[in-house]
Chain A
Amino acid sequence: MIPSKFDYVKPSSVADAVAALQQGGEDAKILAGGQSLIPVLRLRLATPSVLIDLGGIPELRGIREDGDRIVIGAMTAYHDIIRDDLVKQHVTLLAQATETVADNQVRHRGTLGGSLAHADPAGDLGAVALALDAELVIAGADGSRTVPASDFFVDYFTTAIGEGEILTEIRFPKYTGWGSHYEKFNRTAQAWSMVAIAAAIRVEGGSIAEARVGLTNMGTTPIRATGVEQALVGQPATADAVRAAADRVTEGTSAPSDADAAADYREHLAKVLTGRAVLAAAG
């Protein structure tokens, strides 16, 4: 289908974009990589009056080091994240998860900011941002504020980004030297996750010193598996110990049931995949 009629603006600064957003009111929508928004427009599930394209704002694109943080502009494409040396070295889990998103074409257009703002519970990067305690910088008319990932995801397709606001950058603490793995389970090779597990583990002297585990598509938002994390700390990185800890993965989840997988099957998968993700992360 063809989208309904809309106006199009392409501001060249964040301030201009925020102004355009305020001017456009409720019906204005931000366009990032368009990999979720364009299909939604074409199915006419959304009919915005104006699209504000962030593609003309250079400051929103790129990856830099800022002290103990790696800072990624909201408009940085997946393709660039996967190939970036800073990300590969300090936020390996993000590179690993991003590599599993869709196909090469989508990864050239889709952006980290768009993915997090879209907040599809089946999207792969929310669980990573949550598990790694990322901070999200949101700009509005009154300047910028920083929201921790734990407060960012509110509900199904709903985040802490308010009306008239734009997600500008995502700040990740460094996890240099940690082991990590993103274990994704899907029906076909390039599909969204039926369930996926994001795991980052720091092993010290053969036992697990710190653990961070995030869940994709096990509820209406990404979920942090704190029960598993607690159970892992202090354990040896052995199959038995890890599997016992993984059994706690369903605590606090509300897995969806759909044609591909009922909730009980997702819960089972989450346990198996958590074991695999943690063992792979622990190396």
Chain B
Amino acid sequence: MKLLADMGAYLGLVGPGVPILGAFMFNSIYKFPAYKFTCTNVFTTKTLTDAYRGAGRPEATFAIERIMDELAVELGRDPLELREQNWIKHEEFPFTTVCGLTYDSGNYEQATQQAMELFDYAGLRREQEERRRSGDPVQLGIGISTFTEMCGLAPSRVLGSLSYGAGGWEAASIRMLATGKVEVITGVSPHGQGHETAFSQIVADQLGVPFEDVEVLHGDTQISPKGLDTYGSRSLVVGGIAIVKAAEKVVAKAKKLAAHLLEASEDDIEFSGGTFTVRGTDKGKAIQEIAFAAFMAHDYPEDMEPSLDSDAVYDPENFSFPHGTHLAAIEIDTDTGHVDLRKYVCVDDIGNVVNPLIAEGQVHGGLAQGIAQALFEEANYDEQGTLVNGTFVDYTLPSAADLPSFDTRVVSTPATSNPLGVKGVGEAGTIASTPAIINGVLDAIRHLGVTDVEMPTTSQRVWRAIQEAQGRSTQKTPVDTHSPGAGLGSIDPNNPQGEVQ
């Protein structure tokens, strides 16, 4: 793999680290005997590059999933069958890849089979054949992306070996209040991902307290002084596990105090559903009672502080390796080049799921973002390196009206590297979807001779690609980059000759 990485004019926070993350992922789910990676970072006159949802893994996934499709074409094989022949079988986990990562769990067969059924892969292939045979002006393409990613950043020693500027641990504290309520302090501060909900669920499960009694605090260094934050699909798999570890300490302290108060040996105390009981008796105390007893501190063991409050810092031992099979049905109007995403199915294996609605929301938003990269979004620069579409008047973003209703499902092969068996999900959609779309676009018009279309695959680019492949050279009139297009955008801020009357 030879990578030329555009850093922009300055180095950002982790700009040069982004291609390095990708370096571990070009082999993806496949069994590669050998692999070499060289990367040259280049300074350009553009805006600086930094980590963006997926960071490094979308590029790697794009490359390998495009290559698998090209290989299938060259060999005359079904692209899914070729992938299956080369991927790690479910019984081969844990599997150490050519890059030295050990994938702990996964089942590519299961996700793929379910996705193919939901998608009606066989039926759509038949429709594609039919449209080709009849020369339908609207051609159908099937886009495939069977992705995996390394997330849950990250074992601190691994980051150290890569000269990364920080560790990868996460911090959590739990405070058991006298009222029986629980305060949880996390270093991963959400900005819309629903940590408050998911983390409250985890604490309610761990401590056996009502979900409503848990309050998650974050985002202010006066409350939560320590943390490495929300990125790299790490909040649940690192931050969430730190909370589990802190909860385990709370339970251990509470157990000691419970044994003391119940006049039993600690070995005879059982904890379940928020209550400590003496084995074989009906004597017991709720965790809230224990918390109050600790607060009162009238009666507690000699070798203990009168508090259940606990801190934990969790440094993961491995990354998290979610995977999934994404399938897109793309229709292309060959007369205009218009690309229409007709259907999108994905089955993601994200291990155990704490909150299905949040997981679906993460996949959903990620898909829209990754699909937008393939079909709509682009930063345009002129020859001087000036960004010419720097406002939302002229920067194209899709809305719900431009996207189909996604069919997203999850299957679960629990992670073995953490006690909850969870895997990251925040970046799955952006990593997987872009190559699925581009593979679908090319699959729709490959029989016309088209072998590549630059992203985003605008109608104009698709139309030109078809014309050129058919030997009709299109004479491209010079484009005025300063005229960003129709509507309000047609009032060029640099030359407002079109100022309203």
Cα-based distance from A281 to B402 in the complex (angstroms):
25
In the complex, whether B281 has a CB less than 8 A from a CB of chain A is no
Interface residues of B in 63-85 (CB under 8 A from A): none
| Interface contact A262-B479, CB-CB below 8 Å | yes
Q: What 0/1 readout, one digit per residue, does chain B (448-482) give for beta carbons within 8 Å of chain A? A: 00000000001110011000000000111111110
In the complex, whether A39 has a CB less than 8 A from a CB of chain B is yes
| Interface contact A260-B496, CB-CB below 8 Å | no
Q: What 0/1 readout, one digit per residue, does chain A (186-204) give for beta carbons within 8 Å of chain B? A: 1111111110000000000
Q: How many residues of B contact A (CB 8 A)?
A: 44
In the complex, whether B493 has a CB less than 8 A from a CB of chain A is yes
| Interface contact A265-B497, CB-CB below 8 Å | no
Chain A interface SS verdict (over half)? loop
Residues on the B chain within 8 Å of A273, using CB: 336
Residues on the A chain within 8 Å of B484, using CB: 258-259
Cα-based distance from A40 to B501 in the complex (angstroms):
12
| Interface contact B376-A187, CB-CB below 8 Å | yes
| Interface contact B389-A159, CB-CB below 8 Å | no
Residues on the B chain within 8 Å of A229, using CB: none
Q: How large is the interface on A (under 10, 10 to 19, 20 to 34, 35 or more residues)?
A: 35 or more
Residues on the B chain within 8 Å of A122, using CB: 485-487, 490
| Interface contact B479-A188, CB-CB below 8 Å | no
Which residue of A29, A188, A192, A268 contacts B398 across the interface (Cβ within 8 Å)?
Answer: A188
Interface residues of A in 25-41 (CB under 8 A from B): 29, 36-37, 39-40
In the complex, whether A238 has a CB less than 8 A from a CB of chain B is no
Known A-B contacts A156-B497, A265-B463; the reply to A217 vs B401 at CB < 8 A is no
Give A34 Cβ to nearest chain B Cβ, in Å: 12
Which residue of A186, A259, A260 contacts B388 across the interface (Cβ within 8 Å)?
Answer: A259
| Interface contact A264-B476, CB-CB below 8 Å | yes
| Interface contact A157-B498, CB-CB below 8 Å | yes
In the complex, whether B491 has a CB less than 8 A from a CB of chain A is yes
**Residue of A whose beta carbon sits closest to that of B398:** A188
Residues on the B chain within 8 Å of A185, using CB: 336, 338, 459
Residues on the B chain within 8 Å of A45, using CB: 491, 493, 496, 499-500
Cα-based distance from A185 to B479 in the complex (angstroms):
19
Would you mind naming 22 contact pairs between A and B with Cβ atoms under 8 Å apart? A29-B500, A45-B491, A45-B499, A46-B500, A118-B501, A120-B486, A120-B487, A157-B498, A185-B336, A187-B458, A187-B459, A188-B376, A192-B486, A193-B486, A257-B480, A258-B490, A260-B485, A264-B477, A265-B463, A268-B463, A269-B336, A272-B335
Q: Taking beta carbons and an 8 Å cutoff, which residues of A are in contact with B?
A: 29, 36-37, 39-40, 43, 45-46, 117-123, 156-159, 161, 185-194, 217, 256-265, 268-269, 272-273
